[in-house]
Amino acid sequence: MRRDEPFGRVCAPGEVGELCVAGDGLAVGYLGDPELTARKFVTVPVDGQPRRLYRTGDLGSLGPDGVFHFHGRLDRQVKVRGHRLEPAGIERVADAVPGVGRCLVAAHRDGNGNATGLVLFYLAGPGAPTEPELTAALREALPGYSVPDQVVAVGRMPLSANGKVDVAALLAAHPAPRAGRRASVHPAPARRTVRRAGAGRAGGFRGRHRGAGGRRGRALLGLAEVDRSESVFALGGTSLTAVRLSARLGARFGRGIPVSQLNRTPTVAGLAAWLDGLDPAATAVPAEPGVGPRSAACRSPLCSSTCGPAPTWPTTVC
């Protein structure tokens, strides 16, 4: 929908507007928050008929091929490793630390425009904490998933021609580190070696499952290390991550891996154990009920381990 007032006019193809969702699966509202419900759930005329919509806050446009394109947010909210974060909230916490001057939280993004991590820039005044000290203070005050990946003290905030902080210049001067996992958020447990009876013959096959699951999990989550006993969802994975991981592992081992199995065993160790229990000579497992078998020609990275009839999505308008 167009962003100008009055709200409710549908965008023309290619025009950027707010993405809104409608359909039978639309929620009733926010529990115990009638004000937010009234603001986010609106009824507007679409094609001459009243339609109840949910305002997502995402900006998008409809391409000539019928594909929606994401153009960012109406607010500063970003989604990092499956968590929606509000930079302003993190900035308020940092501002409260004695000695911290002006600060700004920005997101590093990959080639597809997805936020891969947060960095907090701050002006260090007299008596200001060091970068590790400020990071420690943030860890005490914020949930682990919202602690910035980088905390950087700067001598000044570069300004753009219109007098605003030049975020692009800050990010360019301080590029994102190589994908790495923050020990404060997901501490790695001490390594243990457990030998089970009868593990000798299948050990190589089991190790192959664990290694492949770990490598693909690290790539999809943007982490340098993945604890094999920790849920990929706790590490920031989303339902889309599960679909991609199932597809890539299925292609790697030549067998279908239902997304529902990853929901049941969401750790690398658990999924490897499930694969260990299958016949190594088997090339497929039964498809999900009601879903057709995966075509050998299907190589889309977004495809799950089974492909069937095209799903029916809620109505989405721009």
What is the predicted pLDDT for the residue at 114?
Answer: 78
Same domain, 91 and 139: yes
Higher-confidence residue: 1 or 196?
1
pLDDT in the model for residue 130: 94
Number of structural domains found in the chain: 3
Here the CATH number for the domain that contains residue 269 is 1.10.1200.10
Q: Do residue 92 and residue 33 come from a single domain?
A: no
Tens digit of each residue's pLDDT (9 = 90 or more) over 175-224: 876 544 443 333 333 333 333 333 333 333 344 555 555 666 666 666 66
For residue 195, being part of any structural domain is answered with: no
Please tell me whether residues 266 and 236 are part of one structural domain. Answer: yes
**How confident is the model at residue 313, as a pLDDT?**
36
Residues 95 and 155 in one domain: yes
pLDDT at 229: 79
Identity of the highest mean pLDDT range in 70-74, 123-127, 168-172, 290-294? 168-172
Point out the domain boundary residue: 57, 73, 89. 73
Chain segment 50-104, per-residue pLDDT in tens: 999 999 888 889 998 989 888 877 878 888 877 888 898 999 999 999 999 899 9
Whether residues 59 and 119 fall in one domain:
no
Place 117 in a pLDDT band, splitting at 50, 70 and 90: confident
Q: Does residue 127 form part of some domain?
A: yes
What's the pLDDT at 122? 96
CATH number for the domain harbouring residue 169? 3.30.300.30
Instruction: Say whether pLDDT at 294 is over 50.
Output: no
pTM: 0.50
Three-state helix/strand/coil letters over the chain:
CCCCCCCCCCCCCCCCEEEEECCCCCCCCCCCCHHHHHHHEEEEEECCEEEEEEEEEEEEEECCCCCEEEEEECCCCEEECCEEECHHHHHHHHHCCCCEEEEEEEEEECCCCCEEEEEEEEEECCCCCCHHHHHHHHHHHCCHHHCCCEEEEECCCCECCCCCECHHHHHHHCCCCCCCCCCCCCCCCCCCCCCCCCHHHHHHHHHHHHHHHHHHHHHHHCCCCCCCCCCCCCCCCCHHHHHHHHHHHHHHHCCCCCHHHHHHCCCHHHHHHHHHCCCCCCCCCCCCCCCCCCCCCCCCCCCCCCCCCCCCCCCEEC
Find the domain containing 52 and state its range: 17-73
